[in-house]
Amino acid sequence: MKTLQCTDDKKGERVAIFPGSFDPFTCGHESIVRRALPLFDRFVIAIGVNSDKRSFMSMEQRKAWIEKVFKDDPNVEVIAYNGMTIEAAHAVGAQFIVRGVRLIQDFENEKHLAEVNRDLSGIETILLYTLPEYSHISSSIVRELYLYGQDVSSYLPKGADITLLPATNK
């Protein structure tokens, strides 16, 4: 039986990685980060490349967007990565992966990913349920509403720079 280590022997700090495409980063994502922050010494928001999706915002725009939201929090770092999440986790010294769960379907998928990630790397996944007021918000819905000219500001973090969103024809 494996014994879990809660700290990195080299630094003695608890490090978590929060991976996603964050295209765009919503108030639901922000809520997960803010609720998870007290559990860790260092929290890395990792923007991954999803080859199955066409990007709405550039990687640079997403990174700048998230950095602005957390500009006053020294424990939050934002990185971009390409490849497997566990490789990015190892690169930043993370012992934990944090994921948000909005719907029961998310839970099923996240459970399978957590098991595979633990088998491959020993890294544990912590699932946080989305607060009810954010459970209907997804990046996909925000993108679609925005592209149809709707005001999406209530779905985005207060510190987000809306000028980073792509221009629309509406």
Domain membership flag for residue 35: yes
Rounded to the nearest 5°, which phi and psi values hold at 80?
A: -115, 145
Domain membership flag for residue 168: no
Domain membership flag for residue 98: yes
Give the separation between CA 27 and CA 159, rounded to whole angstroms: 10
Q: What token pair was written down for 156?
A: 């985005």
Q: Is the pLDDT of residue 6 over 70?
A: no
CATH code at 128? 3.40.50.620
Which candidate in 53, 71, 112, 136 is catalytic? Answer: 53
Query: Can 42 be counted among the known catalytic residues?
Result: no
Domain membership flag for residue 8: no
Per-residue pLDDT, 53: 73
Spatial contact of 138 and 102, defined as CB atoms under 8 Å apart: yes
Which candidate in 34, 35, 102, 118 is catalytic? Answer: 102
Give the separation between CA 51 and CA 22, rounded to whole angstroms: 14
Per-residue pLDDT, 104: 85
Model pTM score: 0.88
Q: Determine the number of helices (DSSP H) and then strands (DSSP E) in the chain.
A: 5, 5
Query: Can 53 be counted among the known catalytic residues?
Result: yes
pLDDT band (50, 70, 90) for residue 170 = low
Query: Can 21 be counted among the known catalytic residues?
Result: no
Which candidate in 21, 31, 138, 139 is catalytic? Answer: 139
Domain membership flag for residue 99: yes
Query: Can 2 be counted among the known catalytic residues?
Result: no
Percent of the chain with pLDDT over 70: 92
pLDDT tens digits for 85-133? 999 999 999 999 999 999 888 898 999 999 999 999 999 999 999 999 9
Give the separation between CA 25 and CA 124, rounded to whole angstroms: 23
Domain total of the chain? 1
Spatial contact of 137 and 155, defined as CB atoms under 8 Å apart: yes
**Distance, first Cα to last Cα, the chain:** 58
Per-residue pLDDT, 169: 60
What does each C-alpha distance from 119 to 41, 57, 75, 79 come to in angstroms?
Answer: 25, 33, 28, 24
Spatial contact of 42 and 13, defined as CB atoms under 8 Å apart: yes
Q: Give the type of residue at 10.
A: K
Percent of the chain with pLDDT over 90: 77
> Which range of residues forms the domain containing residue 122?
15-163
Which candidate in 21, 29, 31, 62 is catalytic? Answer: 29
Domain membership flag for residue 9: no
pLDDT band (50, 70, 90) for residue 160 = confident
